[in-house]
Chain A
Amino acid sequence: MDGAVEQTVAARRDGGRPAPWVRLWRTPSLIVARQIVRSHLRSGWLWGELIAVLSLYVVFFDYPGTNGDLAYFYGFGGRSLGAIAAVGAAIMAHRALGKQAYLPLARLASRGSYARGLMLAASFTRLPLVIELLALYLRAHHHFQGPWVGHFIVGMLGLLANCSLIAVVAVLLSPPIATRFNQIVFLFWLVLALSSYTDLGWVSTVFAVARLPLLLVVACYNFGATGVMDWLGALAYALTLAVIVGLVWFADRQYRRRDLLL
């Protein structure tokens, strides 16, 4: 057995088997995710995102006379946080997948751990932004009574799921995980899907097929708009989480296949 491995094994033997949560905490994907979140924070980008959310709230939700309509809040907030999630995750991926990835990758037994860690970090950093927006909203419009609480919670779940999904897609579309061809195909699909919302006659009807992958996003969006999560909604929510996991798996696979010429 070689020196390093021997030492590591010996150290583990001396220290005993760590607790399960310690083992989970020290899995390569989580180590990478922690480092990327720290880096995003120290570089100032996370602060920038937090300030963007604050600005959004001040401009669009905190004007005199606002009644704190939850449907409006989640509708506009969902789109705004979605845009911030796309930009923030793309920046995070750009920074993490550059030349500085060589050294961590040279330590990992699988490149997939790095991709998973990055996606985990991109999803996780949505949490403080959502919490910030909700906290700001609660500060001014707290109605902890009746159906409002349920609407608030259901809307929050939908908002989090959509932001995570968008963040994961943004990472998936970042080079070298995605090729330029992948990016073009995605943009082409997006144009088709969005074109179907304009009145182009029968063409819109044909293009409407391209909207199908957006159904899950729409379902999560509607949680905030309606405050209702029935069994169909719950199924859509579970499917959204499954899609996120599937995209992480796909990114892992794509990243392992790439030639890394960073």
Chain B
Amino acid sequence: MAAPDIECRDLCKAYTGPVVALADVTLSIERGMSFGLLGENGAGKSTLVRILMGFIRPTSGSVRVLGSARLARIHAEIGYVHERPTFEARFTGREHLRYLAELSGLTSNETSRRVNTVLDMVNLSGAAARRVAGYSKGMLQRLAIAQALLTDPTLLILDEPTSGLDPLAQWEVRRIIAALHDAGKTILLCSHYLAEVEALCDTVGILRKGRLARFGAVNELRGLATMVEIRVAGEYTAARACILCGLAPEEVEARDDTLRVPASEQARVLGALVRAEIPIHSLTPMSRTLEEVYVRVAAAAGPDHTARHDATLQHSAPMGARERGAP
């Protein structure tokens, strides 16, 4: 079996302060996978990306990218988009790409060919001769993606590539990422946009205060969280129905006339409602969105959450939703 494109084991990073940016993060991203890394500001996403790129060193733990522990050595095979790509304003888009292509070790002919190719891929050929100072934010982001594709890399590490873009520019960038995934690239996408990750990624990890609180296939994470919505009829409110049935508030979500319960609890809750002679208006199975999963993780973690996601758990369970301390 081929080694994963990204493999982190018990990765920790502490800054002076002491600030723990990453704690015991273990994850494995296989070739061809599109992995979304979610987390609020300060969760450790950018720290993880910087470690993967070799910009900072972990305090402990190990990391291998494309099978190599010497991360700088395999830079030519990684396409990297920084969260705030900074280009010299007085250079044209083409000049930037030529410079970075030369640094990647491409020959002169290959540089010209690849620069034209990636400019076409991100639809920037028309603006390539213009100075970057005149580029919109969306164009800069596409230029950043173009430079990441110069060496036709196996692995793409995209740190918030759509951050701060208008909806149309976001759509364009997402279209490019989707095409790259379809072309078989391994993608690590850091993002705040849950809908974006849901649309582009097949696997997701949620970082919370430096720890990997969830990791799994998007569908399985959502599937695990399948819920049932029960609307009570008559003059009953959901809260009153809970009291009459003896359901604890932490077991169900009660709002207006609707009870939300996990599918696994459906039979028990329905039985309790029937026994209490509470009329039922409707019963609707529903899947959680990634957003709901994310919010639950955040809520469950709380200020001092201790959710751990360690190597044993990662490697003993099948690929899919794996969680600890889940609500």
Minimum CB distance partner of A101 in chain B:
B86
B193 beta carbon closer than 8 Å to chain A: no
A82 at interface, CB cutoff 8 A: no
A232 near B: Cβ within 8 Å?
no
Given contacts A11-B109, A100-B87, A107-B104, contact A2 B78 (CB under 8 A): no
Q: Which residues of B contact A103 (CB under 8 A)?
A: 80, 82, 85-87, 100, 144, 147
Can you give 7 A-B contacts (C-beta < 8 A)?
A: A2-B153, A7-B110, A35-B99, A104-B100, A108-B75, A110-B72, A259-B56
Given contacts A11-B110, A110-B72, A111-B72, are A99 and B84 in contact (CB under 8 A)?
Answer: yes
Q: Give the distance to chain B from A139, nearest Cβ to Cβ, in Å.
A: 32
Q: List CB contacts (< 8 Å) of A1-46 with chain B.
A: 2-5, 7-8, 11-12, 15, 18, 26, 28, 31-32, 35, 38-39, 42-43
CA distance A38 to B102 in the complex (A): 15
What residues of B have a CB within 8 angstroms of the CB of A5 in the complex?
76-77
Q: Is B264 an interface residue (CB 8 A)?
A: no
Which residues of chain B come closer than 8 Å to A38, judged between CB atoms? 91
Cα of A15 to Cα of B112 in the assembled complex, Å: 14
Binary A-proximity of B30-53 (CB < 8 A = 1, otherwise 0): 000000000000000000001001
Query: Inside 8 A of A31's CB, which chain B residues have their CB?
Result: 99, 102-103
The minimal Cβ–Cβ distance linking B90 to chain A, given in whole angstroms, is 4
What band does the interface of chain A fall in when counting residues whose beta carbon is under 8 Å from B?
Answer: 35 or more
Question: For residue B91, which residues in chain A have a CB less than 8 angstroms away from its CB?
Answer: 38-39, 42
Instruction: Please give the residue numbers on chain A whose beta carbons come within 8 Å of chain B beta carbons, in ascending order.
Output: 2-5, 7-8, 11-12, 15, 18, 26, 28, 31-32, 35, 38-39, 42-43, 98-100, 102-111, 259-261
Q: Specify the chain A residue showing the minimal Cβ separation from B106.
A: A8
**How close is B131's CB to chain A, nearest CB, in angstroms?**
10
Q: Could you tell me if A102 and B82 are in contact, using CB atoms closer than 8 angstroms? A: yes
CB distance from B275 to the nearest CB of A (A): 60
> Given A2-B77, A3-B154 in contact, is the A106-B102 Cβ separation under 8 Å?
no
Q: How far is the CB of B146 from chain A (nearest CB, A)?
A: 11
Instruction: Pick from B87, B100, B144: contact of A107, CB below 8 A.
Output: B100
